[in-house]
Structure 1
Amino acid sequence: MRALILALALMPGAAAAGGLGAARTLPAGSVIAAADLTVIDTDRPGLTDPSAAIGMQTRITVYEGRPLHANMLRPPRLITRNQVVRLSFQRGALRIDTEGRALSDGAAGELIRVMNMGSRSTVSAQVMSDGTLEVIP
């Protein structure tokens, strides 16, 4: 990624460029890679730091050549609505693992509602970086 930042900084006209744009049309839900970015010359404000966009997911379709804005991006979703997930509860030495059904999408660190498949009760759980859910007591 440092090589991309350096290459973007050394490109002719990079100092006058308005920011980052899409190198190709990015459908909603796409995770942005370095190859998806290009420097564009625009007077419209937008993102200028590639590290702010790489690894993020698009909320909407971003067309080729359009500037990228922070409100177009979100952290990648690890959990999707109606997905069957592993649900864990831990308190002291007690650990309970069961299956649940996600009631909304969720990215790492977010709280979402999950239905316990065994009891049919709804609980709040935090999305962990490995895609599992930890019940919040």
Structure 2
Amino acid sequence: MRWLWLLPCLAALPAHADMLVATRTLRAQTIVSPGDLTLRAGPDTGLTDPALVIGQETRVTIYAGRPLRPGDVGPPAIVERNQVVPLIYASAILRIETEARALDRAGAGETVRVLNLGSRNPVTGTVQPDGSILVEGTK
């Protein structure tokens, strides 16, 4: 009975598992390669599957020995800030194409704000694999 007070303390300890750790300092906007990662035992706070990280781009600087977290990496950017990109508005019966200026960096499948060069209005769309921005209308 004297040891019952110890049970809540043991339950609060973090779980340990293999986690991905950077082998060198990875600056933001670096494409992650297999040599940049290693598995290390530690608290289960980060990413654990190298296949999900290799080929992705770092969003922040990741220092050597630090675990990788889900928000630290994402798809490689194919649209750069201030780049002029095709802007496509598509609905069920209408398709309009014009040009826009990207207001941020983004990869395929991510949303990005762009400035429509014709109307000077900012809009938000999804980056397509070819680098164009798609704004979908109601269907």
TM-score normalised by L of structure 2: 0.70
Q: Which amino acid aligns with 1:136?
A: E
Match of 1:68 in 2: 68
Match of 1:117 in 2: 117
Q: Post-superposition shift, 1:28?
A: 1.2
Partners of 2:53 and 2:35 in 1: CA distance: 11
Q: Radius of gyration: which is bigger? A: 2
Match of 2:57 in 1: 57
8 Å CA contact retained: 1:17, 1:39: no
8 Å CA contact retained: 2:59, 2:74: yes
Deviates more, 1:112-121 or 1:21-30: 112-121
Partners of 1:135 and 1:65 in 2: CA distance: 41
- Structure 2 unaligned residues grouped into runs of 5+: 1-15
Number of residue pairs matched by the alignment: 121
CA deviations 1:82-122 (Å, max 9, x no partner) are: 22111123446754332211123333223322212123233
8 Å CA contact retained: 2:26, 2:64: yes
Partners of 2:61 and 2:88 in 1: CA distance: 35
Q: Percent identity?
A: 45
- Structure 1 unaligned residues grouped into runs of 5+: 1-15
Q: Post-superposition shift, 1:48?
A: 2.0
Match of 1:30 in 2: 30
TM-score normalised by L of structure 1: 0.71
Match of 1:77 in 2: 77
CA deviations 1:47-76 (Å, max 9, x no partner) are: 221112112222221122322222322333
8 Å CA contact retained: 2:90, 2:136: no
RMSD: 2.5
